[in-house]
Amino acid sequence: YGAEVPSVVFIRKYLSTDEILKLIAASDIIILPYRRARGEYSVSGILHLALGSFRITVGTKVPRLVEYYQLMPGLFAPPERDDVLARIILDVLENYKEVYKEFREAVTPFVERTSWTNIAN
């Protein structure tokens, strides 16, 4: 499917904050394909940037993303199940307007509640 959609870009390197913000602004969908790993590390930065920018975010159901997959479980695949993740991505691409409407309704209260302004107060 990526061959048919020339605007699909895969990036596999560390990105600076400026690079991340530019990519999010240019993106319609953010993919967070995390694997299960020993120990916990935070991914909330990219998650909150993507959600705060109202970009549909697809990911894997790992503890690091629990706050989001509780809101939109249909956008998550089990870790190590690339086939399921691919099907979810294709569904989002094929039904973008409908998915975006549901996504926006589900995440808006979360984004407002967890905004920097509200957290800092």
Mean pLDDT value across residues 71-100: 95
How much is the CA Rg of the chain, to the nearest whole Å? 14
- With a CB cutoff of 8 Å and minimum separation 6, the contacts of 52 are 111, 115
Residue 29 CB: number of other CB atoms within 10 A? 18
Give pLDDT tens digits for 59-84.
999 888 888 889 999 999 999 899 99
pTM here is 0.81
How far, in Å, CA of 91 to CA of 88, rounded? 5
pLDDT score for 83: 96
Give pLDDT tens digits for 9-56.
778 888 888 999 999 999 999 999 888 766 655 566 888 889 999 999
- Residue 77 bridge partners (DSSP): 60
pLDDT score for 74: 95
pLDDT score for 19: 92
Domain-wise residue ranges, the chain: 2-34+41-120
Q: How far is CA 51 from the centre of its chain?
A: 7
pLDDT score for 1: 40
- Please tell me which residue, 115 or 2, carries the higher pLDDT value: 115
